[in-house]
Amino acid sequence: MTSDLLHEGETMRLLLVEDDEMLGHGVQAGLAQAGFAVDWVKDGEAAELFLGAEEYDLLILDLGLPRRDGMEVLRNLRNAGKDLPVLILTARDAVEDRVQGLDSGADDYLIKPFDLDELGARVRALLRRRGGRAMPVIRHGEIELDPASHTVTQAGRVVDISPREFALLQELLENRGRVLSRSQLERSLYSWKDEVDSNAVEVHIHHLRKKLGSDLIRTVRGVGYVIDKVR
């Protein structure tokens, strides 16, 4: 798919479909903390609307949903030829649902209640499998960025870095030598509904320079930002 090539290196965009407010909030916050951009909808119809309008890297789908059942959303998705990974959320006693879900094209499932760390790990595993690659550590001079553990080290020392700074740095490192515009960088930082501060990218870049050295990220006036390849 062409869009996969275009989006390579960007932060992964996830759609979460869950009608339980508390669970939905928790999952969205947890995955955002882990560096994913997460859109959250609360019924099956909204899910299909969003799936039709946006390219997502992965779908987290509750099965018991208002307006349109999760199983139906899943079947419609696969019938439409969409092959994004789907992780279904089911109740403990719903063995038949899990079997039916997997038979209908789900890639994995989690039983409620689940641990947010486990959800994060399953999501990363599904994305890795889909990408056909392990997420390797990115090395740049003395800097190492580990997408799996979400850590950045410089000369072996862990650098304290926020999730959005991490996403921005990863984006720039994965595209070394390419100038990325502010809007390209914004897209990697925010999910669909987020308010974007007009100077958010500048602020994060400023913090990254303070933490990792002023010459790491180069400003290309009027165009954007770039991390040059190490010569």
- Contact between 34 and 10 under an 8 Å Cβ cutoff? The reply is no
User: Least CB distance from residue 61 to Ca ion, whole Å?
Assistant: 10
* CA pair distance 44, 66, nearest whole angstrom: 6
Smaller CB distance to Ca ion: residue 16 or 126?
16
Residue corresponding to tokens 């279904």: 88
User: Least CB distance from residue 3 to Ca ion, whole Å?
Assistant: 30
Map the footprint of Ca ion across residues 38-67, applying CB under 5 A. 62, 64
Q: Is 72 in the site for Ca ion (CB under 5 A)?
A: no
Ramachandran region, residue 124 (left: φ > 0; alpha: ψ -120 to 50; beta: rest) = alpha
Q: Is 26 in the site for Ca ion (CB under 5 A)?
A: no
User: Least CB distance from residue 218 to Ca ion, whole Å?
Assistant: 48
User: Least CB distance from residue 16 to Ca ion, whole Å?
Assistant: 12
Map the footprint of Ca ion across residues 133-192, applying CB under 5 A. none
- Contact between 225 and 172 under an 8 Å Cβ cutoff? The reply is yes
Q: Which span sits near Ca ion by CB under 5 A: 12-20, 80-88, 163-171, 221-229?
A: 12-20
How many residues form the binding site for Ca ion (CB under 5 A)?
A: 3
Smaller CB distance to Ca ion: residue 64 or 163?
64
User: Least CB distance from residue 15 to Ca ion, whole Å?
Assistant: 15
Report which of 43, 48, 46, 39 is spatially closest to residue 20, judged by C-alpha positions.
Answer: 43
User: Least CB distance from residue 70 to Ca ion, whole Å?
Assistant: 8
The residues facing 16 across adjacent strands are 40, 60
Q: Is 19 in the site for Ca ion (CB under 5 A)?
A: yes
Report which of 34, 44, 45 is spatially closest to residue 12, judged by C-alpha positions.
Answer: 34
- As a whole number of Å, the end-to-end CA separation of the chain is 33
Q: Which span sits near Ca ion by CB under 5 A: 16-24, 52-60, 177-185, 194-202?
A: 16-24
Smaller CB distance to Ca ion: residue 14 or 145?
14
Smaller CB distance to Ca ion: residue 19 or 72?
19
Alpha helices in the chain (DSSP H): 2-6, 21-33, 44-53, 70-79, 95-103, 116-131, 163-174, 182-189, 200-212
Binding interface with Ca ion (CB under 5 A): 19, 62, 64
